[in-house]
A and B are shown apart, each in its own frame.
Chain A
Amino acid sequence: MLSSQIKSNEIVFGSCNKDLLEEIIFYGIGLGADFIEIFIENTDNSSVLAEEDFITSVSPSFGKGAGIRIFKDKKDGFVSTNDLTKHGLIRSVSQAIEMLEIKENNKREVFNGLDEFRDYSLSKKKWINEVPSIHEISEKLLLSTKSLKKNNKIITRKGSYSRNLQEVIIASSDGTYVSDIRLHQTVGLNVIASDAQYRSSGSRRFGSSGIPNEFGLWDHEQAANDVFESSMNMLYADYVDAGQMPVVLANKFGGVIFHEACGHLLETTQIERGTTPFENKLNEKIAHESVTAIDEGISEGSFGSLSVDDEGMEPEKSVLIKDGILKKFISDRAGELRTGHQRTGSGRRQNYSFAAASRMRNTYIAQGEHSKEDLINSISDGLYCKSMGGGSVGATGQFNFAVEEGYLIKNGKLTNPVKGATLIGEAKEVMPKISMCGNDLELAPGFCGSISGSVNVTVGQPHIKVDSITVGGR
Chain B
Amino acid sequence: MNSREITGQISKAADFLNLKKWDYGASFSNDYSVQVDKGEAKQLKVSQKQILTLRVWNESNLVGITTTSDISESGIKKALNQANIASDFGNKNERTEFSPLAKDHIEVKDAKKRNPVGIKKLLTLLREAEVKLLKSHESIKSVPYNSLSESFYERVYANSDGAFRSYTKSQAVLYLYARAEEKNKKPRSSGSVKLGYGVEDLDIESCIKDACNKTISHLNYSSIQTDKYLICFSPESFLTIINAFSSMFNARSILDGVSLSNKNSIGEKLTTEALNIYDDGLHEKNISSSPFDGEGTPTKRLCLINKGRIENFIHSESTARIFKTMPTGHAGLGSKVSVSPDWIVVEKSEENSDLKTLLDHSTYGGEFVYIEELNAIHAGVRASQGSFSLPFDGWHYKNGKKISIESATVAGDIKYLLKNIVNIESSQEVTTSGISPHIWVDELSITGDA
- A residues engaging B (CB < 8 A)? 48-49, 51, 54-65, 74-83, 92, 95-96, 98-101, 134-135, 138, 155-156, 192, 199-201, 239, 242-244, 272-275, 353, 355, 389-392, 394-396, 398, 400-402, 419-422, 424, 426, 470-474
CB–CB B335/A58 < 8 A: yes
A401 to B379, CA, bound (A): 7
Check if B46 is an interface residue, CB within 8 A of chain A. Answer: yes
| Further pairs besides A63-B69, A82-B70, A394-B391: 15, Cβ < 8 Å | A57-B335, A60-B85, A77-B46, A80-B47, A80-B48, A99-B46, A135-B89, A156-B258, A272-B37, A274-B144, A275-B179, A396-B187, A401-B379, A424-B407, A474-B412
CB–CB B335/A242 < 8 A: no
User: Could you give, for residues 61-83 of chain B, a 1 whenever the CB lies within 8 Å of some chain A CB and a 0 otherwise?
Assistant: 00011111110000000110011
From B44, B186, B256, B411, give the contact of A472 (CB < 8 A): B411
Q: What is the total number of residues of chain B having a CB less than 8 Å from a CB of chain A?
A: 71
Q: Given the known A-B contacts A60-B82, A273-B142, A422-B409, are A192 and B447 also in contact in the complex, defined by CB atoms under 8 Å? A: no
CB–CB B379/A392 < 8 A: yes
Check if B312 is an interface residue, CB within 8 A of chain A. Answer: no
Q: Given the known A-B contacts A56-B94, A274-B144, are A402 and B380 also in contact in the complex, defined by CB atoms under 8 Å? A: yes
Which stretch of B194-202, B206-214, B381-389 is in the interface? B381-389
Q: Which residues of chain B come closer than 8 Å to A81, judged between CB atoms?
A: 47-48
The winner among B64, B82, B89 for most chain A CB atoms within 10 A is B89
Q: Which residues of chain B come closer than 8 Å to A82, judged between CB atoms?
A: 48-50, 69-70
CB–CB A59/B375 < 8 A: no
Min CB–CB distance B225 → chain A (angstroms): 10
User: Could you give, for residues 423-450 of chain B, a 1 whenever the CB lies within 8 Å of some chain A CB and a 0 otherwise?
Assistant: 0000000000000000000000101010
Check if B378 is an interface residue, CB within 8 A of chain A. Answer: yes
Q: Given the known A-B contacts A355-B43, A392-B375, A394-B391, are A49 and B336 also in contact in the complex, defined by CB atoms under 8 Å? A: yes
CB–CB A76/B70 < 8 A: no
CB–CB B379/A57 < 8 A: no
Min CB–CB distance B336 → chain A (angstroms): 4
A26 to B70, CA, bound (A): 28
Min CB–CB distance A333 → chain B (angstroms): 13
6 contacts between A and B (CB under 8 A): A54-B92, A57-B335, A59-B67, A75-B41, A98-B119, A394-B391
CB–CB A65/B379 < 8 A: no
A79 to B45, CA, bound (A): 6
Min CB–CB distance A220 → chain B (angstroms): 19
CB–CB B409/A59 < 8 A: no
Q: Which residues of chain B come closer than 8 Å to A275, judged between CB atoms?
A: 144, 179
Scan residues 25-62 of chain B and give those whose CB is less than 8 A from a CB of chain A.
Answer: 37, 40-51
A192 to B384, CA, bound (A): 8
A390 to B379, CA, bound (A): 4
A201 (CB) vs chain B CBs: closest residue:
B384
CB–CB B384/A199 < 8 A: yes
Min CB–CB distance B18 → chain A (angstroms): 20
A268 to B207, CA, bound (A): 28
Q: Given the known A-B contacts A59-B334, A99-B119, A156-B257, are A138 and B391 also in contact in the complex, defined by CB atoms under 8 Å? A: no
From A61, A389, A395, A400, give the contact of B144 (CB < 8 A): A395
A274 to B179, CA, bound (A): 9
From B43, B93, B256, B391, give the contact of A156 (CB < 8 A): B256
Min CB–CB distance B245 → chain A (angstroms): 14
The winner among A78, A82, A83, A199 for most chain B CB atoms within 10 A is A82
Q: Which residues of chain B come closer than 8 Å to A57, judged between CB atoms?
A: 91, 334-336
CB–CB A138/B37 < 8 A: no
A472 to B407, CA, bound (A): 11
A83 to B391, CA, bound (A): 43
CB–CB B91/A200 < 8 A: no
CB–CB B257/A79 < 8 A: no
CB–CB B391/A400 < 8 A: yes
The winner among A48, A58, A395 for most chain B CB atoms within 10 A is A58
CB–CB A75/B43 < 8 A: yes
* Across the A-B interface, the 7 shortest Cβ-Cβ residue pairs: A63-B69, A273-B144, A61-B67, A392-B376, A390-B379, A242-B447, A57-B336
Min CB–CB distance A56 → chain B (angstroms): 5
CB–CB A62/B334 < 8 A: no
A55 to B188, CA, bound (A): 48
Min CB–CB distance A182 → chain B (angstroms): 18
Check if B364 is an interface residue, CB within 8 A of chain A. Answer: no
Q: Given the known A-B contacts A61-B68, A63-B70, are A78 and B379 also in contact in the complex, defined by CB atoms under 8 Å? A: no
Q: Which residues of chain A come closer than 8 Å to B375, judged between CB atoms?
A: 392, 394, 400
Min CB–CB distance B359 → chain A (angstroms): 23
A95 to B445, CA, bound (A): 53
Min CB–CB distance A85 → chain B (angstroms): 11
Q: Given the known A-B contacts A57-B334, A155-B257, A156-B256, are A398 and B46 also in contact in the complex, defined by CB atoms under 8 Å? A: no
Q: Which residues of chain A come closer than 8 Å to B50, judged between CB atoms?
A: 82
Check if B278 is an interface residue, CB within 8 A of chain A. Answer: no
Q: Which residues of chain B come closer than 8 Å to A60, judged between CB atoms?
A: 65-67, 82-83, 85-86
